[in-house]
Amino acid sequence: MNDLSREEIEKIIYYAAKLEPLSGKGSKLDICKGEILITAFFEPSTRTVTSFETAMHTLGGDAQRFNQETSSMKKGETKKDTVKTLEQYCDILAIRDIEPRSVEKYASSVTVPVINAGDGVNEHPTQTLYDMYTIRKHFGRLTNLKIAIIGGLKYYRPSNSLIIGLNKFEGNKIFGICPAGMELANQFRNDSYQEIVMNMSQLNMVLEKIKPDVVYVTRLKKEYMLPTEDPKNYFYTINKSTMDVLPKNSILLHALPRTTELSTDVDSDPRVVMFKQIRHSLQVRMAILALFLGHKDELERL
Ligand code: CP
């Protein structure tokens, strides 16, 4: 997210809004006709991989999914050689990897544009762009908001990126609320951010006091936790009683997948907009792909 200026974020959101009515199921544009995206995910994904591929199809291009399990990586080929090989077959790559900042390294070793689709415990910038799109659509602004980010902040890349993104807009107050041991890594802290380390059984009381506009629930990323970090010691859950203390015009976001941190009993609350949020991944990723592939003029003409 540090690579993007406020103006660039606003531009992506602007083009995504133009694309929204054109990104319905069955829609087909010809903006990226003849161009190929390869998704190379060295870590599991449901939403990011399928939305990138659907976005490319909707733009009229093609998408190929690299499958690590059936690839020559099983014969010992390195990820770097794999990426340099995939580059030969496509116009753009979307890569997810387990190593922080690895996508940046792949990008410097190839000539096609590379999109970071999540790099370990570091960042998930395209997630943040559609989180911001969702916030902007609801409130009509990305400034002067109170955002409570709850949970396992230590290993959660979407919140790292969101904190950087929201700090580019004035007046935002970001509250990181987490159990001791799950604090945000220092490199993601900024002027907009303050942290409340607490006993998570008191969460509703704290939220009632903050009155956040946006509640962003994170998952405890057990897959990244150290053997000495027992998930039981960091347990938290948002349920209907939490919704009862939130302002009427607030929204609750979650990048998904969810586990125990968000009870399904909140799903019918209209403030819980996580599936709309996921839907916005499509037009935001369409905008990103089209821009990276040099189709700004076509986006302008929409
Ligand atoms: N939000 C998100 O990145 O989901 P996936 O891991 O399923 O792609």
Assigned token pair, 145? 């908001």
CA angle 62-67-70, nearest 5°?
A: 135
Residue 215: what pLDDT?
Answer: 98
Q: What is the DSSP string of 38-101?
A: EEEESS--SHHHHHHHHHHHHTT-EEEEE-GGGSGGGGT--HHHHHHHHGGG-SEEEEEESSTT
Residue that the structure tokens 């690590």 belong to: 68
CB of 251 closer than 8 Å to CB of 138: yes
Amino acid type, 40: A
Q: What is the DSSP string of 241-289?
A: HHHTTS-TT-EEEE-S---SSB-GGGTTSTTB-HHHHHHHHHHHHHHHH
CB of 168 closer than 8 Å to CB of 6: yes
Does ligand 1 have an atom closer than 6 angstroms to the CB of 126?
A: no
What is the residue with the minimal CA distance to atom 3 of ligand 1?
48
Residue 30: what pLDDT?
Answer: 97
Predicted TM-score (pTM) above 0.95: yes
Residues with a known catalytic role: 47-48, 75, 96, 124
Amino acid type, 276: K
Does ligand 1 have an atom closer than 6 angstroms to the CB of 117?
A: no
Give the domains, in start order, of the chain with CATH numbers.
6-124+279-297 (3.40.50.1370), 127-277 (3.40.50.1370)
In ligand 1, which atom is closest to the CA atom of 281? 1
Q: For residue 262, with 0-12 CB atoms within 10 Å meaning exposed, 13-18 middle and 19 or more buried, which class applies?
A: buried
Give the separation between CA 296 and CA 292, rounded to whole angstroms: 9
Cβ partners under 8 Å of residue 44, min gap 6: none
Compute the distance from residue 297 Cα to the ligand 1 centre, in Å: 30
Convert 33-71 to b/e letters by CB count within 10 Å (16 or more is b). Answer: eebbbbbbbbbebebbbebbbbbbbbbebbbeebeeeee
Give the separation between CA 201 and CA 82, rounded to whole angstroms: 46
Does ligand 1 have an atom closer than 6 angstroms to the CB of 47?
A: yes
Q: What is the pLDDT along the chain (302 residues), one digit of tens a residue?
A: 999 999 999 999 999 999 999 998 888 999 999 999 999 999 999 999 999 999 999 999 999 999 999 999 999 999 999 999 999 999 999 999 999 999 999 999 999 999 999 999 999 999 999 999 999 999 999 999 999 999 999 999 999 999 999 999 999 999 999 999 999 999 999 999 999 999 999 999 999 999 999 999 999 999 999 999 999 999 999 999 999 999 999 999 999 999 999 999 999 999 999 999 999 999 999 999 999 999 999 999 99
Give the separation between CA 219 and CA 237, rounded to whole angstroms: 10
Compute the distance from residue 205 Cα to the ligand 1 centre, in Å: 30
Among candidate residues 136, 90, 129, the one with its CA nearest the CA of residue 113:
90
Does ligand 1 have an atom closer than 6 angstroms to the CB of 237?
A: no
Residue 27: what pLDDT?
Answer: 86
Mutate to test the pocket of ligand 1, among 256, 274, 285 (most ligand atoms within 8 A of CB): 256
Residues facing residue 40 across a β-bridge: 66, 95
Compute the distance from residue 80 Cα to the ligand 1 centre, in Å: 23
